[in-house]
Amino acid sequence: MLLLFSIATFAQTPQTRSSMNKYEQQWKQVEGFDKQDLPKSATKVVNDILQKAIAEKNTPQVIKSLIYKNKYKIAIDQNESTQIFAELDSLMQNTNVVEQSILHSMLAELYLDYYDNNSWMIRQRTDITGFVPEDIKEWSKNIFQDKALFHLSKSVENYTYLTAESTKSYKDIIDLGNDSQRLCPTLYCFLLNRAIDLSSRITLENERGTAFQKALQAKNIQIKDLAVQTPDFLKFDFSGDDNLSTLNYFRKLLQVQGSGINEALMLTEIKRNQYLSNRSETYRNNYSADFLFTLYKKNEAHDYSVEIIDAITNLEPYNIYSYYRGTNEKNADNLDKIYELLKTGIDKYPNYRRIDILKNKLFELQRPFAELTGPAIYHPGNKNKKFKLYYKNIKSATIKVTDKKTGALVETKNISLSPQKTYTYEDEEFTLDMNKIGEYRITASYDGKKSSDPPIDFTISELAHFARVSGDDQYEFYVVDRLTGTPVQDAVITIYSTNWNNKNAVRLSSIKTDSRGLAVFNSKDIFTQKNNKRYVYRISKGNDIQSENKDFPYHYNYNSNPSYGQDYISILTDRSIYRPGQTVYFKVISMKQVDKNTSRLNPNQYYKISLYNVNNQLVSEQSMRTNDFGSLAGEFVLPQGGLTGQYRIAVENSSQYFSVEEYKRPTFQITFDKLDKTYAFGDEVKITGHAESFSGVKLQGATVEYNIVKSSFLRWMMTSPETVDNGIVTTKDDGSFEIVFTIPQNDSRRGWFNTIFNFHVQASVTDLNGETQSGDYNFAVGDVSMILSINLPEQVDKNSDNKIRVTATNLSGEPVTANGTYTIYSVLPNDSIKDKISTGNFSTDSELNLMNEIRRLPSAKYLLVLESKDDKGRDVTSRNYFV
């Protein structure tokens, strides 16, 4: 753990070490030992400085000495990382209020650094409340955060003293930088900036989105309300909630800067906007850009507005790196805005000290770019081999094709390009008229300069193949003509062993395909259990040789001799949840794997059975022996008043987990009525719930607290959950309650998939006796209201009699009726569409007669596309590849 207290918040570039006065010579000695990696020698000099500083009451030098002393102590012994806390606490008792403020800020950072360095272990601990253990190594996450927040609050509470003190007075421990004295000259400003940075580490570490949103809503603040300029932002009250501590420090800093230099205020506003963008996806997508554009208009008369342009062009819609191959109309419009912003900034403020940040971005925006793409394999029967060149700011390309084996030049093609703009990505298709079977390499030059990108390799071959596992130690290979799908007889599959970097291949065996294009390979006598061996194959027929090594399907490092004789242990408990003090009854069953097909019970074996708590600490342990049937049974009594959370019983390498919680049997339950219609973004939704006892008594006048969280519906588009509404209602005489809220407008900028979000409604009901029970309900909202699916497997057996059906469901998973069209496409090796094969109609009310059509197709890979419309006439599409 190394404390860095020498970075001034507004420093744009590092500054050389400040003068050490009479201590300078000794610190140079320390620096020399540090460079030589001699921590013990450095520690001796640091101790001398510390003693002198204490004697002379030079607090900055004392603080600096303690920091370095701690640094070298850790370098000598990693476990010695906690003494600095006691030393700084002790020093605080003998310093003035200004020095105490600095020490409070340092202690906050120390606690957070200690937590970060040990978070993998601390996160496993249950939160400790009510007391703080003396040993810091026993603290839980909440204690570290509480300590840090306490010290941050103390660090900025002495406004009068801190605003009167210059950072120059503490230049021995604060790197003043180039701009801090102009933009942030007082200790109060400096410590507030540190409080913002350090508290944001806490708020971002905690549950992202929901806790922050709840804290805002408790103060009747919506996220959009924060996208305001300084005067309106200062009207908010963020005090009293740790989740809003960072915003509270921003408010205090802006309050001070409001009457000072505009540049300092502007930089703080940029920083605040970035913080809110990190905390809320809604803010980031809907309000961040508008906030910065408003800030720019307010400051465009000043050259420091270059910083705002830089911030705008860091946002996703205007970030130059977001538009790789960006060719659609919306992307092009944003690129135009980026270009104009950068050009305006460079032309308008040429003498600004940091104008290079815009020049560098403009250079990157216009940096020439080229990338060749195309299928890896072509059939010689396809006359023209199509390739695509993606490019930017390039006027000519020269393509050279060589034979990979001989290196001979086969073809040269010169392409003239006409880029519309210097900063937009465009594409150009070209063809190569080649039909000779072989392996080839493409190299390219652009605007007369040879490309530094790797060459593009492609093959011209008639052969396509599929491989699968067909049984134990058995593989099937099917070779067909790549264009017609006709089976290829006498194609050779050659098997090699190689190492993992694909070198030193050794030929092991080869087989040939029969008249059906089929070859069967048995690996039992060939594959061995040697370490670092990889088994691959290659396909060839005559001079049509595919030299690329292909891995066997599903098997990489094949192991035909599993480790027999190993014990396999199952652990069972009588329940999955217990209260502290209850008895856990367990049973253990032990079996031994004798051979591939045989296992037997493991009688008369001694085992150690261990009980661990939520912090993985051993609670109890006992040794027992299995009976004649390979099982044993016993019990553990959970400690009364012990930790709650997830416990486990462990036997050798096996564990069974269960929960220990303080609970009592519920007397009532919460249920929800199903929504009977599909909703869209912006609609008002009314969700009806019911609270009643298990005996049927309705709960009247009970308090209902609800919270609604939005999250991604699609697993591959996961975003942070975000609270969109919460509140309090009361149950009616019939025990029912209503939650009414408006679904937020769609703020997603993704355009490649349908946008669908899940809304999770959680309601907690408290009865007159103080008992609280919770219930939840989920529903989905999207830009379409229907999802199409089909029971077509990825690998289709032509002899199968399986019935194929298209099904449609609404976003709640309920079946709906749909009609539409289907289209079957043949595809290239890179899964891009080659040709349309057939099309037809489907209805979810009847079977889709596809099998007869599929049986007539040559064996190959295809794409089935389903198209329909939902109940509001919006296009719904489903894509399914099959072989």
Supply the angle between the helices 329-348 and 356-365 in degrees, to the nearest 10.
150
Fill in the amino acid letter for 346: I
Q: Which pair of structure tokens corresponds to residue 86?
A: 């006691």
Question: Is 623:582 a contact under the CB 8 Å cutoff?
Answer: no
Which one is predicted more confidently, 399 or 22? 399
Q: Do strands 474-481 and 463-471 pair parallel, antiparallel, or not at all (unpaired)?
A: antiparallel
Backbone angles phi, psi at 775, to 5 degrees: -145, 160
Contact 320, 361 (CB under 8 A): yes
Average pLDDT over residues 112-140: 86
Name 740's bridge partners: 686
At 754, list the tokens: 């349908």
Integer Cα distance of 786 and 816 in angstroms:
8
Check residue 181 and give its pLDDT.
65
Q: How many CA atoms lie within 13 A of 825 on its CB side?
A: 15
pLDDT for 848-862, tens place per residue? Answer: 778 888 888 887 788
Token code pair at residue 145: 């955060």
What's the pLDDT band for 596 if we cut at 50, 70, 90? low
| Residue 586 banded pLDDT, cuts 50, 70, 90 | very high
Q: H/E element holding 297?
A: helix 288-299
Which carries the bigger pLDDT value, residue 149 or residue 782? 149
Is 70 exceeded by the pLDDT of residue 326?
no
Strand pairing class (833-843; 819-827): antiparallel
* Residue 737: pLDDT over 90: yes
Residue 865 host element (H or E): strand 862-869
Per the rule left: phi > 0, alpha: psi between -120 and 50, beta: everything else, 671 is beta
pLDDT of residue 732: 92
Give me the DSSP letters along 463-515. EEEEEEEEETTEEEEEEEETTT--B-TT-EEEEEEE-TTS-S-EEEEEEE--T
Local confidence band at 751 (pLDDT 50, 70, 90 cut-offs): very low
Closest by alpha carbon to 566, among 605, 519, 512, 508?
605
| pLDDT (tens digit per residue) in 349-373 | 999 999 999 999 999 999 999 999 8
With contact defined as beta carbons under 8 Å apart, do 512 and 541 qualify?
A: no
Tens-place pLDDT, residues 337-351 = 899 999 999 999 999
Structure letter (DSSP) for residue 715? G
CA distance 302 to 261: 12
Checking if the pLDDT of 325 tops 50, the result is no
**Contact criterion met (CB below 8 Å) for 617 and 539:** no
pLDDT at 448: 92
CA angle 418, 419, 422 (to 5 degrees): 150
The DSSP secondary structure of 157-205, one letter per residue, reads: --HHHHHTSBGGGGTTTS--TTTHHHH--BHHHHHHHHHHHHHHHHHHH
- Given a cut of 70, whether residue 717 has pLDDT beyond it is no
> For residue 9, what pLDDT is reported?
31
- Of the chain, the percentage scoring pLDDT greater than 90 comes to 31
Distance of alpha carbon 119 from alpha carbon 112, whole angstroms: 10
Question: At which residue do the structure tokens 């003498």 appear?
Answer: 351
Interatomic CA distance for residues 749 and 536, integer angstroms: 43
Confidence at 531, pLDDT banded by 50, 70, 90: low
Q: Per mean pLDDT, which range of 5-19, 383-397, 455-469, 823-837 is the poorest?
A: 5-19
Q: How far apart are CA 432 and CA 442, in angstroms?
A: 11
Whether the pLDDT of residue 175 is over 80: the answer is no
Above 90 in pLDDT, residue 592? no
DSSP summary character for residue 125: S
For residue 176, pLDDT over 80 is answered with: no
Residue 453 has a pLDDT of 86
For the chain, give the mean pLDDT: 83
Q: What is the pLDDT of residue 564?
A: 62
- What CA–CA distance (Å, rounded) separates 596 from 589? 20
- Residue pair 881/861 in contact (Cβ under 8 Å)? The answer is yes
Q: What are φ and ψ of residue 93, in 5° steps?
A: -75, -15
Task: State the Cα–Cα distance between residues 784 and 778, nearest whole angstrom.
Answer: 17
Identify the band that residue 803 occupies on the pLDDT scale cut at 50, 70 and 90.
confident
DSSP string over 739-794 = EEEEPPPP-----SS--EEEEEEEEEEE-TTS-EEEEEEEEEEESSSEEEEE---S
Which of the four pLDDT bands, split at 50, 70 and 90, describes residue 4?
A: very low
> pLDDT value at position 826?
84
Write down all domains in the chain, each with its CATH number in brackets: 1-203 (no CATH), 206-285 (no CATH), 369-460 (2.60.40.2550), 463-551 (2.60.40), 567-660 (2.60.40.1930), 668-782 (2.60.40.640), 786-882 (2.60.40.10)
> For residue 819, which phi and psi values (nearest 5 degrees)?
-125, 150
With a cut of 80, say whether residue 172 has pLDDT above it: no
pLDDT for 196: 95
Residue 7: the pLDDT is 31
Angle at alpha carbon of residue 707, lines to 872 and 753, rounded to 5°: 35
* pLDDT band (50, 70, 90) for residue 805: confident
Contact 631, 590 (CB under 8 A): yes
Residue 384's pLDDT is: 78
Phi, psi of 89 (to 5 degrees): -60, -40
Cα 667 from Cα 670, distance rounded (Å): 11
Q: How confident is the model at residue 708 (pLDDT cuts 50, 70, 90)?
A: confident
197-220 pLDDT tens trace:
999 988 766 655 467 877 888 888
- State which of 30-44, 192-206, 239-253 shows the largest mean pLDDT: 239-253
What is the pLDDT at residue 259?
58
Residue 66 has phi, psi (to 5 degrees) of -65, -40
User: Which H or E element spans position 446?
Assistant: strand 438-446
pLDDT category at 636 given cuts 50, 70, 90 is very high
- Residues 6 or more apart in contact with residue 598 via CB below 8 angstroms: none
- Arithmetic mean of pLDDT, 615-639: 90
Asked if pLDDT for residue 816 goes beyond 60, the answer is yes
Flag the least confident range among 16-25, 44-53, 271-280, 676-685.
Answer: 16-25
The pairs formed by 181-186 with CB atoms below 8 angstroms and a separation of 24 or more are: 182/261, 183/10, 183/261, 183/263, 183/264, 183/267, 184/8, 184/9, 184/10, 184/264, 186/162
User: What pLDDT does 525 receive?
Assistant: 67
pLDDT at 228 over 90: yes
Given a cut of 60, whether residue 556 has pLDDT beyond it is no
Q: Write down the pLDDT at residue 512.
A: 94
Name every residue whose Cβ is closer than 8 Å to that of residue 121 and which is 6 or more positions away in sequence: none
Q: What is the pLDDT of residue 86?
A: 82
At 409-429, the pLDDT tens digits run 999 999 999 999 998 888 899
Q: Residue 647 corresponds to which tokens in the numbers above? A: 């416990």
User: Is residue 113 scored above 50 in pLDDT?
Assistant: yes
Distance between CA 442 and CA 312 in Å, rounded?
A: 40
- Looking at residue 734, its pLDDT comes to 93
- Residue 628's identity, in one-letter code, is D
